[in-house]
């Protein structure tokens, strides 16, 4: 039998999903698949498009690869558009003139951004937000712009605004409707979202109808509005909605809807035999579905029909949950309470900026919809109750009220969900699928992911999927595991408790009493860190040295070529000219690459193992101490100059920074900890981005906790205000020791707080109100740790025994001959691989 030929027009998310389903289907060998893409690449994840601005590469976004298509025999043509369909001959023709015959034709042409017909819209720097090329154009334009406007305050518009803001533009959102996200949110939710977004520096202008775009005064363009007002901007991104890409159907005699969209029936068939339409180009029941999950369902239905199955598309749940500019927003079902007789519950917290509303049926038994802004934890449960038409619990308002002490927990528990409940709408995975996977041996999220595909789309279902997995594991009597590795069936928190309570002082002791095997590079440093947090013994002592990770084991950060960096402590960033001179002299003598770090100190790079002791001897003699740049421990306490010199300073921020750095230096913790102290609210030390941030007030200090820079920045939370010195230190002692007790391995304080049950309020309860009656204990532990501080480098250079380890070869005085450097901007740097080729002999490798 000859193969059926399927042509897929458009290789976007849905077109690709269809092809993937064909390839994975049981009778894949009966089909020959050909696809055409107008874009220059195969399908990528449009849903995650915005992550391109936060560092994802095109490769990260790809949903497939040319290689994968080739391996599966899928024929593809890129950068070529299908322009003609001949239904009698059953052929398609592309812009480049290629003609191909089909047995079945799938239209998956997606949609295009709607640009309102405003005079002036076609100028340079007037852009849209849909493809990777669009994002490249926006990036380019942003480089030449200071101000940017997004036209459209819907879901995509706000994503675009986020991008512009991240690109450093002064960002504005123009919305025609009276509120943001008018489709999904009710008035209360929209208003709160606006307040939050404006607090982040994005200006929102609602009820603005743009009349024309003309040359600007202060900026490149001026947008003139119907109400007589105007706004100057250098660039504009239009995000005023999408329109189905139905050109191909329109021009070739396939029925389209009154306002566009290729008309399909429940089997995704168009008006012409053997032609189907799926995804955003398709119009079902006069509706276009602008989300990926319904498109994926259509792909499944179309394939089922081709293969003789009877699956049908009967509409889709349009609930959404997302984070827009850092704000959680969710909308479920009938968010606008349009159902006759609908009643509502509303909870609004103006202080914490949370808005939640539930829309219930006339008899109060069913959930019709919900809106959540500022906090969307209840989304999973509410969405499930809504789509599965489940009965609400007796006091439904509990589901949106904040949890009270000892009160019943929110929601109804995943047990109540039917097996058919769709947990992951992106990949169409039901509760039953997850349960089955767990029973089949998947016992962690990694397994569930690869087995069912759940959570690999938008990721919005992760929490719920995990709950179902954990619940099923429990049902099966399998303990839910948080083991740190194969050697210890305990979490880091449990190990920390065991070590503290049983006063365990060595890895061997712990392994014998609580572990198995020999340990590994996960548990050894974890235990090493816990031992150091509580007992603070010299980390290179004989029974601890084997636990230290890459950097701690030689008290320096290992560089890519195996050399080390040297970072002496410069508390608070304050340094005398004499000490600066010593650093210069040492760097010069050993030819070390020298750089000012982001932590207000100086890093000397490229020291070889055998040079470390000599270098540190000189530094210690000059009064320096180790900076612990290598440890999961206190790094730096940044300061601003404060009231000693600054016109605006209200306290001595440098003095406080130095005092804090001296107090906590050497404190090892689950991850590194950084502090900063600013002398007034201008915040020049950037304290709100630190684990511990201190900002001076007229009356004392404001304490911020759990901020983070790095990969996922988080502003610290204001923890307590106007503290005196003593209370400030007391609170920091307690917060840090509580973090050490209860955080996971390599968990920064930011993530720790986000995962701490009860959150900031609970932390305040523990630290300020001493609810657990632990305050004194935590302070005592800190005092003990501080009392045992030693400069590890000083101890090391004083011990001839310890110094033996600091040579490249145990049996020869030579250095590592493979090191190679080149000069750049007046200093050395490691030679790159191609530069090294000529310089050193080839390396040895096993055959």
Partner 1 sequence: MSTATAENTEATWVKVCEKNSIAPDTGVCALVNGHQVAIFYSRQLDELFAVGNYDPLGKAYVLSRGLIGSQGERFCVASPLYKQHFDLRTGECLEEEGVSIPTYELKLEGDWISVRA
Q: Could you say which of ligand FES, partner 1, ligand FAD, none residue 525 binds, taking C-beta under 5 to 8 angstroms by partner kind?
A: partner 1
Sequence-separated (6 or more) residues with CB below 8 Å from residue 676: 637, 638, 639, 657, 685, 686, 687, 689, 690, 693, 694
Radius of gyration for the chain, computed over Cα atoms and rounded to the nearest angstrom = 31
The minimum distance between CB 535 and partner 1, in angstroms, equals: 19
The answer to the question of residue 290 lying near ligand FAD (CB under 6 A) is yes
Phi-psi region for residue 340, left (φ > 0), alpha (ψ -120 to 50) or beta? Answer: beta
The answer to the question of residue 295 lying near ligand FAD (CB under 6 A) is yes
Out of 37, 165, 304, 471, name the contact with ligand FAD by CB under 6 A.
37
CB 96 within 8 A of CB 80: yes
The answer to the question of residue 424 lying near ligand FES (CB under 6 A) is yes
Q: Could you say which of ligand FES, ligand SRM, partner 1, none residue 418 binds, taking C-beta under 5 to 8 angstroms by partner kind?
A: none
Out of 11, 37, 425, 708, name the contact with ligand FES by CB under 6 A.
425
Q: Which region, judged by CB under 6 A, interacts with ligand FES, from 202-210, 424-432, 494-502, 754-762?
A: 424-432
- Residue 651 φ/ψ, nearest 5 degrees: -145, 170
> 280 or 717, CB closer to ligand FES?
280
> 562 or 623, CB closer to partner 1?
562
Place of tokens 């007034």: 680
CB atoms within 10 A of CB 679: 29
Q: Summarize as ranges the residues that interact with ligand SRM (CB under 6 A).
A: 557, 559, 565, 567, 595, 597-599, 601, 603, 629, 635-636, 672, 674, 708-711, 748
The answer to the question of residue 9 lying near ligand FES (CB under 6 A) is no
DSSP state of 210: E
The minimum distance between CB 821 and ligand FAD, in angstroms, equals: 45
Q: Could you say which of ligand FAD, partner 1, ligand FES, none residue 517 binds, taking C-beta under 5 to 8 angstroms by partner kind?
A: partner 1
The answer to the question of residue 38 lying near ligand FAD (CB under 6 A) is yes
> 49 or 791, CB closer to ligand FES?
49
What three-state secondary structure class fits 456?
coil
Q: Could you say which of partner 1, ligand FAD, ligand SRM, none residue 805 binds, taking C-beta under 5 to 8 angstroms by partner kind?
A: partner 1
Report the largest interatomic distance among the alpha carbons of the chain, rounded to a whole angstrom.
Answer: 91
Q: Could you say which of partner 1, ligand FES, ligand SRM, none residue 542 binds, taking C-beta under 5 to 8 angstroms by partner kind?
A: partner 1
CB 355 within 8 A of CB 371: yes
Side-chain half-sphere exposure of 115, counting CA atoms within 13 A: 17
The minimum distance between CB 282 and ligand FAD, in angstroms, equals: 8
Residue 304 has which token pair?
């089922």
CA 690 – CA 715 distance, rounded (Å): 8
- Residue 507 φ/ψ, nearest 5 degrees: -65, -45
Residue 843 has which token pair?
């390396």
CA 584 – CA 609 distance, rounded (Å): 20
Q: Could you say which of ligand SRM, partner 1, ligand FES, none residue 597 binds, taking C-beta under 5 to 8 angstroms by partner kind?
A: ligand SRM
What three-state secondary structure class fits 674?
strand
Q: Which region, judged by CB under 8 A, interacts with partner 1, from 116-124, 498-506, 557-565, 708-716?
A: 557-565
Out of 6, 7, 8, 13, name the contact with ligand FAD by CB under 6 A.
13
Out of 553, 659, 677, 729, name the contact with partner 1 by CB under 8 A.
553
Out of 291, 510, 615, 695, name the contact with ligand FAD by CB under 6 A.
291
C-alpha to C-alpha distances, 157 to 149, 164, 213, 425, 567, nearest whole angstrom: 10, 10, 19, 23, 45
What size, in residues, is the chain?
847
Q: Give the per-residue contact string, 827-846, with partner 1 (x = CB under 8 A; - = no).
A: ------x---------xxxx
**How would you classify the pairing of strands 147-151 and 170-174?**
parallel
Number of residues that bind ligand FES (CB under 6 A): 12
The minimum distance between CB 443 and partner 1, in angstroms, equals: 17
CA 622 – CA 611 distance, rounded (Å): 17
Q: Could you say which of ligand FAD, ligand FES, ligand SRM, none residue 455 binds, taking C-beta under 5 to 8 angstroms by partner kind?
A: ligand FES
List the one residue out of 245, 243, 288 whose CA is nearest residue 114.
Answer: 243
The minimum distance between CB 283 and ligand FAD, in angstroms, equals: 12
Q: Which region, judged by CB under 6 A, interacts with ligand FAD, from 8-16, 377-385, 398-406, 755-763?
A: 8-16
Out of 143, 560, 647, 825, name the contact with partner 1 by CB under 8 A.
560
> 237 or 421, CB closer to ligand FAD?
237
The answer to the question of residue 130 lying near ligand FAD (CB under 6 A) is yes
The answer to the question of residue 46 lying near ligand FAD (CB under 6 A) is yes
Which neighbouring-strand residues pair with 695?
678, 702
**H/E element holding 739?**
helix 725-742
State which of positions 745-784 bind ligand FES (CB under 6 A). Answer: none
Q: Could you say which of partner 1, ligand SRM, ligand FES, none residue 635 binds, taking C-beta under 5 to 8 angstroms by partner kind?
A: ligand SRM
DSSP state of 397: G
DSSP state of 10: -
CA 331 – CA 186 distance, rounded (Å): 9
List the one residue out of 710, 708, 646, 709 whose CA is nearest residue 678.
Answer: 646
CA 248 – CA 270 distance, rounded (Å): 12
Q: Could you say which of ligand SRM, ligand FES, ligand FAD, none residue 425 binds, taking C-beta under 5 to 8 angstroms by partner kind?
A: ligand FES
Out of 219, 426, 448, 615, name the contact with ligand FES by CB under 6 A.
426
Out of 178, 253, 364, 546, name the contact with partner 1 by CB under 8 A.
546
The 221-225 sheet, strands edge to edge = 210-215, 221-225, 230-233
The answer to the question of residue 799 lying near partner 1 (CB under 8 A) is no
CA 829 – CA 657 distance, rounded (Å): 33
State which of positions 138-167 bind ligand FAD (CB under 6 A). Answer: 156, 159
State which of positions 444-463 bind ligand FES (CB under 6 A). Answer: 454-461
List the one residue out of 350, 337, 347, 343 whose CA is nearest residue 377.
Answer: 347
CA 52 – CA 142 distance, rounded (Å): 15
Number of H helices, E strands in the chain: 25, 39
Give residues in contact with ligand FAD (CB under 6 A): 9-15, 36-39, 46-47, 49-50, 81-82, 108-111, 129-130, 156, 159, 245, 248, 279-280, 290-293, 295, 322, 458
Give residues in contact with ligand FES (CB under 6 A): 424-427, 454-461
Give residues in contact with partner 1 (CB under 8 A): 486-487, 508, 517-521, 523-525, 542-543, 545-550, 553-554, 558, 560-562, 804-805, 808-812, 814, 816, 818, 833, 843-847
């Amino acid at each position: 039998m000859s193969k059926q030929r399927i042509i897929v027009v458009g290789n976007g998310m849905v077109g690709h999903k269809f092809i993937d389903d064909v390839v994975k289907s049981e009778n894949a060998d009966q089909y020959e698949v050909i696809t055409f893409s107008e874009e220059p690449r195969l399908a990528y994840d449009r849903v995650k498009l915005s992550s391109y601005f936060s560092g994802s590469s095109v490769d990260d976004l790809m949903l497939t690869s040319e290689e994968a298509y080739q391996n599966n025999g899928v024929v593809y043509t890129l950068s070529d558009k299908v322009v003609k369909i001949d239904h009698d001959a059953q052929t398609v023709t592309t812009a480049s003139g290629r003609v191909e015959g089909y047995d079945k034709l799938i239209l998956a042409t997606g949609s295009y951004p709607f640009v309102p017909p405003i005079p002036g819209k076609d100028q340079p720097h007037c852009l849209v937000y849909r493809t990777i090329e669009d994002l490249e154009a926006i990036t380019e334009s942003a480089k030449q712009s200071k101000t940017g406007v997004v036209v459209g305050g819907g879901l995509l518009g706000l994503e675009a605004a986020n991008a512009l803001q991240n690109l450093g533009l002064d960002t504005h959102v123009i919305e025609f409707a009276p509120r943001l996200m008018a489709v999904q949110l009710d008035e209360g939710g929209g208003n709160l979202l606006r307040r939050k977004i404006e607090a982040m520096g994005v200006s929102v202008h609602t009820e603005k109808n743009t009349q024309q775009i003309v040359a600007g005064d202060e900026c490149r363009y001026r947008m003139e509005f119907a109400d007589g007002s105007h706004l100057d901007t250098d660039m504009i991104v239009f995000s005023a909605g999408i329109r189905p890409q139905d050109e191909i159907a329109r021009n070739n005699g396939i029925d389209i809807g009154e306002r566009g969209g290729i008309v399909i029936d429940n089997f995704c068939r168009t008006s012409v035999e053997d032609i189907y339409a799926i995804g955003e180009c398709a119009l079902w029941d006069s509706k276009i579905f602008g989300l990926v999950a319904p498109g994926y369902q259509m792909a499944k239905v179309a394939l089922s029909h081709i293969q003789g199955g009877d699956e049908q598309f009967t509409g889709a749940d349009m609930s959404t949950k997302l984070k827009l500019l850092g704000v959680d927003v969710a909308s479920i079902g009938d968010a606008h309470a349009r159902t006759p007789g609908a009643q509502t519950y509303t909870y609004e917290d103006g202080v914490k900026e949370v808005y939640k509303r539930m829309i219930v049926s006339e008899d109060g038994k069913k959930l019709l919809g919900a809106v959540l802004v500022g906090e969307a934890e209840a989304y999973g449960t509410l969405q499930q109750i809504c789509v599965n038409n489940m009965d609400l619990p007796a006091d439904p308002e509990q589901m949106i009220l904040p949890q009270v002490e000892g009160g019943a927990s929110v929601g109804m528990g995943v047990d109540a969900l039917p097996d058919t409940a769709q947990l992951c709408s992106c990949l169409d995975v039901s509760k039953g699928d997850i349960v089955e996977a767990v029973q089949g041996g998947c016992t962690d999220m990694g397994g569930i992911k690869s087995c069912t595909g759940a959570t690999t789309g938008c990721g919005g279902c992760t929490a719920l999927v995990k709950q179902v997995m954990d619940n099923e594991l429990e049902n099966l009597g399998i303990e839910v595991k948080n083991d740190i590795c194969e050697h210890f069936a305990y979490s880091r928190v449990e190990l920390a408790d065991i070590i503290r309570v049983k006063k365990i002082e060595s890895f061997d002791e712990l392994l014998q009493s609580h572990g198995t095997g020999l340990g590994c590079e996960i548990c050894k440093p974890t235990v090493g860190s816990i031992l150091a947090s509580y007992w603070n013994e010299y980390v290179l002592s004989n029974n601890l040295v084997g636990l230290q990770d890459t950097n701690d084991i030689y008290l320096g950060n290992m560089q890519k070529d195996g050399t080390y960096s040297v970072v002496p402590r410069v508390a608070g960033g304050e340094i005398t000219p004499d000490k600066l001179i010593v650093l210069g002299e040492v760097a010069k003598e050993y030819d070390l690459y020298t750089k000012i770090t982001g932590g207000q100190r100086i890093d000397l790079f490229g020291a070889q193992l055998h040079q470390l002791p000599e270098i540190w001897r000189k530094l210690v003699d000059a009064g320096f101490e180790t900076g612990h740049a290598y440890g999961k421990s206190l790094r730096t306490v940044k300061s601003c100059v404060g009231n000693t010199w600054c016109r605006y300073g209200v306290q001595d921020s440098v003095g406080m920074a130095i005092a804090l750095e001296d107090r906590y230096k050497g404190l090892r913790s689950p991850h590194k900890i950084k502090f900063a102290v600013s002398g007034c609210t201008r915040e020049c030390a950037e304290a709100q981005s630190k684990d511990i941030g201190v900002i001076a007030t007229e009356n004392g200090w404001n304490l911020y906790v759990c901020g983070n820079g790095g990969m996922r920045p988080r502003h610290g939370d204001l923890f307590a205000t106007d503290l005196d010195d003593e209370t400030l230190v007391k609170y920091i002692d307690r917060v840090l020791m509580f973090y050490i007790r209860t955080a996971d391995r390599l968990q920064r304080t930011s993530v720790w707080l986000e995962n701490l049950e009860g959150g900031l309020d609970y932390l305040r309860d523990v630290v300020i109100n001493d609810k657990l009656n632990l305050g004194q204990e935590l302070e005592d532990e800190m005092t003990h740790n501080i009392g045992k501080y030693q400069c590890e480098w000083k101890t090391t250079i004083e011990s001839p025994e310890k110094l033996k380890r600091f040579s490249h070869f145990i049996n020869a005085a030579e250095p590592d001959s493979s090191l190679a450097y080149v000069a750049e901007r007046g200093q050395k740097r490691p030679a790159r691989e191609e530069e090294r080729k000529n310089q050193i002999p080839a390396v040895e490798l096993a055959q």
